[in-house]
Amino acid sequence: MNTFHNQRVLPAPPAAVFAAIATPERLARWWGPAGFSNRFERCDFRPGGRWVFEMVGPDGTVYPNESVFQHIEPHRQVVVRHTCAPLFTLTITLEPVAEGTRVQWQQVFDDPAFAQAAAHILQPANEQNLDRLHAELERSATCPG
């Protein structure tokens, strides 16, 4: 067991969801589980671009992160390779549906033992990421920019 799947239909078109991923200021607002914040050092949103940042937990613990944007298909898909421990690949796929956009979130860990041991944290954390993305979309709909 090394793969986690989460899915959510969000009430916004794929272009709006993609913009919330592609815009570093917006990504910093919603990325991560509930209660976390982000300090981006670099977010080069292009294929092969580096994404270096710190996630700050509710208790002040700082979690360094480094990733590479492996694949970007505007309004359709973003693939992120987390290049520091724990190693994983995250694929975010956007599909237009009548209600807005179906977001499919697939996180595949290199180490199945790590994934199994952390499943009780990872599954709800991924749902919280989608909750925060939804809130970001609502925020931008009422307060553009």
Give 24-56 pLDDT, tens digit per residue: 999 999 999 999 999 999 999 999 999 999 999
Residue 145 pLDDT more than 60?
A: no
pLDDT, tens digit, 9 for 90 and up, residues 82-134 = 999 999 999 999 999 999 999 999 999 999 999 999 999 999 999 999 999 99
pLDDT at site 140: 85
What is the SS3 string spanning 74-136?
CCCEEEEEECCCCCEEEEEEEEEECCEEEEEEEEEECCHHHHHHHHHHHHHHHHHHHHHHHHH
Fold of the domain spanning 3-142:
Alpha-D-Glucose-1,6-Bisphosphate; Chain A, domain 4 (3.30.530)
Residue 143 pLDDT more than 80?
A: no
Domain locations in the chain as residue ranges: 3-142
